[in-house]
Amino acid sequence: MSLRLNTNYNENESIWEIELIGEVDINSKSTLKDELIQLNEKKKSDFLFKCENLEYIDSTGLGVLISFYKNVKVNENAVYFENLKPSIQKIFTLTGLDRIFSIRN
């Protein structure tokens, strides 16, 4: 399965909403990275990743998200993750990313 992204800027909450669908891995990392850079350049804001349809993420995908997080923090914005599946939540916990990223259910 590949990665699909649905993106929307929510004017009411001043936040980018990104729905991650499929898998974030070595095959899709460039797509994700390029899209996130474009969105951040378009409008510097907070980012909400909606993950109810995220099936898998590997270390290269996590690397993209960590790098992106650093770019967003430069402008004092935040990155949120919402509705992580238990298996993905476990990866965030084991790697300590649950202490870096804001995670909502």
54 forms bridges with which residues in the sheet? 22
Residue with tokens 């936040």, as numbered in its chain: 15
What is d(CA 66, CA 14) in angstroms, rounded to the nearest whole number? 22
- Number of folded domains that form the chain: 1
CB of 86 closer than 8 Å to CB of 54: no
- What's the pLDDT at 105? 81
Tell me the residue range of the domain where 57 lies. 3-104
Amino acid, res. 60: T
> Taking the chain (105 residues) in consecutive chunks of 10 residues, what is each chunk's mean pLDDT?
94 97 96 97 97 96 96 94 96 94 89
- What's the pLDDT at 7? 98
36 forms bridges with which residues in the sheet? none
The conformation of residue 77, written as its DSSP 8-state character, comes to -
What's the CATH code of the domain at 25?
Answer: 3.30.750.24
- What's the pLDDT at 43? 96
Residue with tokens 């997080």, as numbered in its chain: 69
- What's the pLDDT at 13? 95
Amino acid, res. 31: T
Rounded to two decimals, the pTM is: 0.94
